[in-house]
Structure 1
């Protein structure tokens, strides 16, 4: 069985969505936070490097099945959605130029592994902050842990749905692989994100653009 391929029209649409998302994000990037701050620059560079390395731990023995951790939850909460989109886009580009490869092409891979997870994290964070009390436990366990798990679940479901649509019968193994691995990928991504954010909240809260001391550490009235 050969790996499924997207029709040209859908590649064009994927590229259009990707470029628009990156262009909108580029206009809102808070570069001022990096100017003159060597620590912030090193943290951003190191985070991008880790995202790229995550792409090399990929399972793709079954044609059409492309499994790897994303890291979208961590970078979204550390740097905000703008920097997160560009960092994940760079990770997809590095994977596309390496033996690790990407899912169905560079633009579709960015949508499934970058744009969709980042949007999910932003919506999850907004809803949690609106509905739940502000404290570090909610931030780490609900936003970072469950938010990252939900993000990778949506990525898995998108890949499964597109794979099933492209090759109905022959892609059964890949589709079943996405669905069967979803709980494991969710837990792994959630553990990665929640563990990293818990350490940063405790030792380096200044690395987290989404962690407001006045909100999460204030004493109850």
Structure 2
């Protein structure tokens, strides 16, 4: 049942994302982080295949990609990452779809929802963006996705949820750190950042 749900959910998310024609964003500065993601994320997702068998959890990178590219562009980029993992790794097509769903679509969609809540209820402050969306939002989305994956595909390992919690905070630390750096030095790489909103100044060229 779960492979069908993962495949259908992934296909639906991809269709919704493509319906918004996100490739138009690649004409600007977002082309660089999109290409960077295609190089780095497959390596991140392939790491468990190069290590001894164990817990099926790992860093995702989906939250950072949503903050950088926006959800509509992040989803097809994540699909391309999963395709590269399929081609370069040892898993089959269903494994690649499962990775795309649990490591990509689910945390990306959750962090999008968390970001919408923060935008609605908290003031437009740079610390709310970096700590709320980049750090805490990533941790919550990553843990929720990891817990759901453990529920859908139970593993015979002690403290699996504890490990998922720790990995979620690892993802959150990297995302929060990089988001803070990008806000300071290359805000044009963050589609979800706006100088006009968070700094009350005109957007940078």
State the structure with more CA Rg.
Answer: 1
Q: CA RMSD in A?
A: 2.1
Equivalent of 2:9 in 5, 8, 17: 17
**Residue of 174, 184, 187 corresponding to 2:166:** 184
- Of Structure 1 and Structure 2, the greater helix share is in 2
Aligned residues: 199
- Tell whether the 8 Å contact from 1:102 to 1:109 is kept in structure 2 after alignment: no
Q: CA deviation at 1:157?
A: 0.4
1:31 corresponds to which of 20, 23, 29: 23
User: Could you say if the C-alpha distance between residues 144 and 51 of structure 1 is closer, same or farther in structure 2, counting changes exceeding 3 Å?
Assistant: same
The equivalent of 1:207 in structure 2 is 189
C-alpha distance 102-57 of structure 1, shift in aligned 2 (>3 A): farther
CA distance in 2, matches of 1:33, 1:156: 30
Q: Would the alpha carbon gap of residues 124 and 136 (structure 1) be closer, same or farther in structure 2, given more than 3 Å must change?
A: same
Q: CA deviation at 1:60?
A: 5.6
Tell me which residue corresponds to 1:80.
Answer: 70
Contact 1:159–1:178 (CA under 8 A) maintained in structure 2:
no
> Could you give the per-residue CA deviations for residues 191-215 of structure 1, whole angstroms, max 9, x where no partner exists?
1100010000000011111001111
Q: Name which of 156, 162, 170 aligns with 1:172.
A: 156
Asked if the contact 1:145/1:190 (under 8 Å) is kept, the reply is yes
CA distance in 2, matches of 1:66, 1:106: 13
Measure, in 1, the Cα distance between the counterparts of 2:159 and 2:94. Answer: 16
Q: TM-score scaled by structure 2?
A: 0.87
Q: Structure 1: give runs of 5+ residues left out of the alignment.
A: 1-8, 165-170
Matched, 1:193 2:183: no
CA, structure 1 residues 148+180, in 2 after alignment: closer, same or farther (shift >3 Å)? same
Whether the aligned pair in 1 keeps the contact of 2:30 and 2:69 (CA below 8 Å) is no
Task: Work out the CA distance in 2 between the residues paired with 1:210 and 1:102.
Answer: 34
After TM superposition, the structure 1 stretch with the greater mean CA deviation from structure 2, 194-203 or 82-91, is 82-91
